[in-house]
Structure 1
Amino acid sequence: MPFVNIKLTTGVSTEQKQELIAGVTDLLVRVLNKNPASTHVVIEEIDPENWGIRGESVARLRQRKEPGVSGS
């Protein structure tokens, strides 16, 4: 029973989340021959203020439009 936990900053659409869930499930079926009925995918959204990269929050880096920091 695979369990995959995807952590993202907020701002991902419902459609994008569904595509991630389907894609990860398909990958586990193809690569590891896992049963999709017992494959669990959880997406956790984290506020950009609570996610840090290079010593700063993602929210601050996005405000400055730092390279390599994507988001809305």
Structure 2
Amino acid sequence: MPYVNIKVTDEMVTTEQKSQLIRGVTALLQEVLDKDPDSTFVVIDEVPLTDWGVGGVNVAEYRARRAALG
């Protein structure tokens, strides 16, 4: 019974995109590991930019710094 947790930043990920991720991950697990889609669980968490860190700062600040560099 696979459980997959996908975390993405909350930047307008559409319902259709989420559905594609769920279908794709489920199909991949069936193809590679022969897992039953009916017992495969996929959860998508949307994380605010300020709650996701990279390079020692949150993503919003990280992107602002990179934009300032050119």
Q: What is the TM-score of this pair, normalised by structure 2?
A: 0.86
RMSD, matched Cα: 1.2
More helix by share: 2
Q: In structure 1, give the amino acid aligned to 2:30.
A: V
Gaps of 5+ in 2: none
Shift in Å, 1:13: 1.4
Give yes or no for contact 2:55–2:62 (8 Å, CA) kept in 1: no
Alignment match, 1:36: 37
- State which structure, 1 or 2, has the greater radius of gyration over its C-alpha atoms: 2
Aligned length: 66
Gaps of 5+ in 1: 67-72
Q: In structure 2, give the amino acid aligned to 1:6.
A: I
Q: Percent identity?
A: 55
Q: Which moved more, 1:30-39 or 1:13-22?
A: 13-22
Alignment match, 1:52: 53
Listed as ranges, the matches of 1:1-72 within 5 Å are 1-11=1-11, 12-65=13-66
